[in-house]
Amino acid sequence: MTEKDADPVYWPEHYNHAKLETIDAIREALGEEGFFNFCRGNALKYIWRAGHKTAAKEDLAKAAWYCSMAAGNDPRKDTRKSPSELLFGTGETVPCVDGEQRAV
pLDDT, residue 5, reads 59
Please tell me the predicted confidence (pLDDT) of residue 43: 96
Q: Which residues contact 95 (CB under 8 A, 6 or more apart)?
A: 101
| pLDDT mean by block of 10 residues, the chain; 104 residues | 57 66 92 96 95 88 93 79 57 62 59
Query: In this predicted structure, what is the pLDDT of residue 96?
Result: 65
**pLDDT at 14 (0 to 100):** 64
pTM equals 0.63
Q: What is the pLDDT of residue 100?
A: 67
Residue 95: how many CB atoms within 10 A of its CB?
Answer: 9
How far the first Cα of the chain sits from its last, in Å, is 31
